[in-house]
Amino acid sequence: MNTTTTEPCAADELQRYDVVPRKAHQYAMIVLIAAGYVAGATVGAWLLFVAAVCMALGRFWRPFDPFRVLTTAVLQPAGLLQPRMVHEDRETRRIARVVGGIVFTLSGVLLLLLPGLSWLAWTLTGLVGVMILLDAAFDLCALCFIVHHYARLTGNSRVPSNPA
């Protein structure tokens, strides 16, 4: 969904971004979630806290996201990963990162303080994990999709020109 538009030439209005660091970040989040689930409640909670910091704080200050930093500072300059530039509206994806960080934090707290609700913690985490996987594997930003179609249904004049 990187270049899908609702208006003629709208893709030309969007900036081009390298999506490889985002994809590396997303796959790293999936690995952290899976490792946390396998490791159990206590270790899982701490891995979710790491993921939360990477997602929410890394959205505002890049050094808090070591996976993006590793990609842009080491893997791409070494030629191990090549940049992939696409037209992209990042606003909704940035919101999704913060929401994901909040969910991971809440899930970590549930795992540590209320072990009887671990099912809820892993369900919430799993839902965010599926959304991350859809974006990583298929460029389908679920929140972007929802926001775009809600805006169209309500007649909001500020419909993003790119639902991704």
d(CA 146, CA 158): 14
Q: CA distances (Å), 133 to each of 6, 31, 55, 96, in order?
A: 25, 10, 14, 13
pLDDT in tens, 35-72: 999 999 999 999 999 999 999 998 898 888 999 999 99
Q: How far apart are CA 79 and CA 68, in angstroms?
A: 15
Mean per-residue pLDDT of the chain: 87
In this prediction, residue 2 carries a pLDDT of 46
pLDDT digits (tens, 9 = 90+) for 99-158: 999 999 999 999 999 999 999 999 999 999 999 999 999 999 898 888 888 888 888 755
